[in-house]
Chains A and B, each alone.
Chain A
Amino acid sequence: MRRAFLFLLAAATLPGKDSCLDCHSQLPGDLQKPALAFRDSVHLRNQFTCASCHGGDPNSDDPQVAMSRTRGFVGVPARTAIPKLCAQCHSNPDFMRKYNPSERVDQYAEYATSVHGQRLSRGDTKVAVCVDCHGVHNIVPVRDPTSPVYPLNLPKTCAHCHAQAAYMAPYKIATDQYANYLKSVHWEELSQRGDLSAPNCATCHGNHGARPPAVSSVAAVCGTCHVFEAQLFEKSPHQPVFSSLPTGACVVCHSNHAILKATDRMLSGRDAICSQCHEPDSAGGETAAKMAAMIGSLQKKIEAADAILGRARDSGMEVSDAIERQTDARQSLVKARANVHAFAVPVISQPIQAGLAIAAEDYRAGENALHERNVRRKGLAISLITILIAMAGLWLTLQWIRSRRS
């Protein structure tokens, strides 16, 4: 059966006539739309025809013949049949290798493990199938910015179903994920800084095998990107406690979809996350306050060094070495903030001390540069006075010579 399909497909993809496209391009209204959309698709670019999916005979100009069941015409495939239809090519390594030797062919197998795939197999036709995410006739490669699954577009594509309260009601799952995700630092990174590797829905949930991460695997999912934080957390006193909570480890402090930019205010102060569990005078509260104070101190020292170096640079002093070294101080600060996930003062103390030493050295470099600038200005003043005296001397000499001459 499969071999027969591929034979038919090969025949249908031979370059030449495509009577379906020819006719439908000239038909009015909705009958024309698929033909127009198909013109931009990756499939047409690779010489597939309408018959590749819909069957029929694209070599015949007679609609009765072209769309004859005897010629294999299937019309619009049933939703339940779509994943299998796509898989006939996309799960065939030999076939896909012709177009892209490194193209993955496990999408269908993964889909079968997803919540979408499992529900579909039980006859739920509301769940997403291939065409709901990739488009129907106008399917383009994922790397194409117009693709619905291009990293920037994917959240909206998922939200098309998952943000609709009425549509999701039978499944009893929340519909605020998309709205929350739009507030997150991940979306900010993706949409504003253009970092296409920033997490979108598929990064945490998977794409073809989409399902929510289990509570026990949340830390591992976050840890695929936040490696150091995950390693520190694994050894921290919070690990056994947080992992047993129903929300999952990282989510306790950072939330899941609305992951906001982590700030030092999460550690101490009125809005601190730590204070939600730890009293200020408890051991945990004191640790949090100490860590916040250490990070705040390094932040201030770095800012002070930046300011004085900026003043020196604006005065024309050469302080590029110190300005470059400030990057190391900032890296120490980043490392100290990451080390917070160990929830232990000695662990963050090391990068803090390193950063403070660099910031202090840079501050001194700025001070020295400003001192040098002031010395130069004094030197300039003395030189100018000397030059003016010399000029006055020359003028008086000239007057004296002229008076003697006259």
Chain B
Amino acid sequence: MLPTQRGSRAKAVLAWLEERTAWDSIREFVSHKAVPVHSGTIWYAFGGVTLFLFFIQVVTGILLLVYYRPTPNDAYESVQFIMTRVAFGWLIRSIHSWSANLMILAAFVHMFSVVFLHAYRRPRELVWFSGVGLLALALAFGFSGYLLPWNTISYFATKVGTDMATFVPWIGPALGRYLRGGNAVGGATLTRFFGFHVAVLPALTALLLLVHLGLVQKFGISTPPWVQERFRRSGTEIPQMPFFPDFFLHELMAWYGALAVLGALAALFPWELGEKANPFASAPAGIRPEWYFLAPFYTLKLIPGHIFGLEGELVGVLGFGLLALWWVTLPLWGGRPDGSVRMKLVTGAGVALLAYLATFALLGYLR
């Protein structure tokens, strides 16, 4: 075949595609999309890394579903079977567990980078709300998935976690029963946590993710106020890099980096299975939840039994509820209607929250 003939055939294929997909308009749109370049540009990568790790979760989760059986009698044995008998089962399970943790870590880094770069400000309030919602869903993924191997640690950690839910004012007891499917953690808890983990939460996450990415697409990537101010004073344009291929290739390199870290963790520190849960045994000493729940867990342990006539746990749960509400509404109290921000207030709040989470998680781990 002559080169001209090959060229004309490729053009014919492209023309066929163009007619059915409007590919040229997408290419045109992408070619004009740009990302601001400044000293904080590197932090933009963490949103993409979180997304990449979420995709890993979806793929490895689907693979685990092939063998996993969500009943108290079979759950532990099925995970053990995956880890010992299924080809590369150990790798899939370890990657699923490690990427879950790395995804939540990346999501936290992404959230705090948004706070410190003040990317939540007008008109991106909804991007912030949807992002915080996605983080809450990621934590719910972690909480529901933790029980699924049905080992001792996960069983008792879920018991503690669902106990905490019962202290929510008014709806606490009903919420605890709903989460457990009864008065105690058992088979009903396992099946509903499995249902949340593989159906309800993925559906909600997919919807919210579409909203989040759609809004990011709509408003573009934010530039920190001080960078905007510097270039406004100098009368020059903020440097930009094309989203495709420059930022895309940068992002791809970050994804590869995340994959390398994930692979190393999975191969060098395979996720432990522990011992099968025995609901009739007493809780082993040193039970603690995953690292991302350690700070509230340790705080609740420090709270006295009664404060001003109220139960300590109730006060703790109320306090965390108010703290979460305050944090979710950050764009409302941290930004001004004209788009400017209360920079010192927000940065101070971010540093304080980060210090609290890090310190109490560390103390909770060490005690």
Contacts and interface: CB of A to CB of B under 8 A. Distances in A.
Interface of A: 316-318, 320-321, 376-377, 379-380, 383-384, 387-388, 390-391, 394-395, 397-398, 401-402
A-B pairs, 7 with minimum CB distance: A380-B267, A316-B270, A318-B83, A387-B260, A398-B249, A391-B256, A376-B267
A394 B260 contact: no
Interface in B211-256: 245-246, 249-250, 252-253, 256
Residue of A318, A321, A380, A395 with highest tally of chain B CB at under 10 A: A318
A398 B245 contact: yes
A385 B80 CA distance: 30
Chain B interface SS verdict (over half): helix
B253 A380 contact: no
Contacts of B271: 316
A388 B257 CA distance: 8
9 contacts: A318-B90, A318-B270, A380-B264, A383-B263, A390-B256, A391-B256, A398-B245, A401-B245, A401-B246
Contacts of A379: 267
A390 B256 CA distance: 8
A341 to B, nearest CB: 36
B84 A394 contact: no
Contacts of B264: 380, 384
A318 B89 CA distance: 11
Residue of B83, B268, B269, B273 with highest tally of chain A CB at under 10 A: B268
Contacts of B263: 380, 383-384, 387
A214 B183 CA distance: 59
Contact of B253 (A376, A377, A394): A394
Given A384-B260, A387-B259, A402 B246 contact: yes
Given A316-B268, A376-B267, 8 more contacts: A316-B269, A320-B80, A380-B268, A394-B256, A395-B253, A398-B246, A398-B250, A401-B249
B272 interface: yes
B304 to A, nearest CB: 33
B67 to A, nearest CB: 14
A68 to B, nearest CB: 58
Contact of A388 (B83, B84, B91, B260): B260
Contact of A394 (B90, B252, B268): B252
A155 to B, nearest CB: 31
Nearest to A392: B253
A401 B245 CA distance: 8
A3 B159 CA distance: 61
A379 B263 CA distance: 10
A402 B83 CA distance: 46
Contacts, number: 57
Interface in B262-321: 263-264, 267-273, 275
Nearest to B89: A318
Contacts of B256: 387, 390-391, 394
A316 to B, nearest CB: 4
A400 to B, nearest CB: 10
Chain B contact patch, size range: 20 to 34
A260 to B, nearest CB: 33
A383 B265 CA distance: 13
A387 B263 CA distance: 10
Given A394-B252, A397-B249, A398-B250, A320 B273 contact: yes
B257 A391 contact: yes
Contacts of B268: 316, 377, 380
Contacts of B80: 318, 320-321
A383 B275 CA distance: 31
Nearest to A318: B83
B270 to A, nearest CB: 4
Contacts of A317: 270
Interface string B60-98: 000000000000000000001001100000110000000
A394 B252 CA distance: 8
Contacts of B83: 318
A98 B33 CA distance: 93
A377 B264 CA distance: 9
A333 to B, nearest CB: 24
Contacts of A384: 260, 263-264
Interface in B129-160: none
B149 to A, nearest CB: 12
Nearest to B271: A316
Nearest to B79: A318
A56 to B, nearest CB: 52
A377 B269 CA distance: 11
A336 B252 CA distance: 63
Nearest to A383: B263
A322 to B, nearest CB: 10
B90 A391 contact: no
A379 B272 CA distance: 20
A377 B273 contact: no
B27 to A, nearest CB: 16
Interface in B322-350: none
B246 A377 contact: no
A387 B268 CA distance: 17
A321 B84 contact: yes
Contact of A377 (B91, B252, B267, B272): B267
Contacts of B84: 318, 321
B267 to A, nearest CB: 4
Contacts of B273: 318, 320
Contacts of B270: 316-318
Contacts of A318: 80, 83-84, 90, 270, 273
A145 B322 CA distance: 51
Nearest to B94: A316
A367 B264 CA distance: 22
A377 B91 CA distance: 12
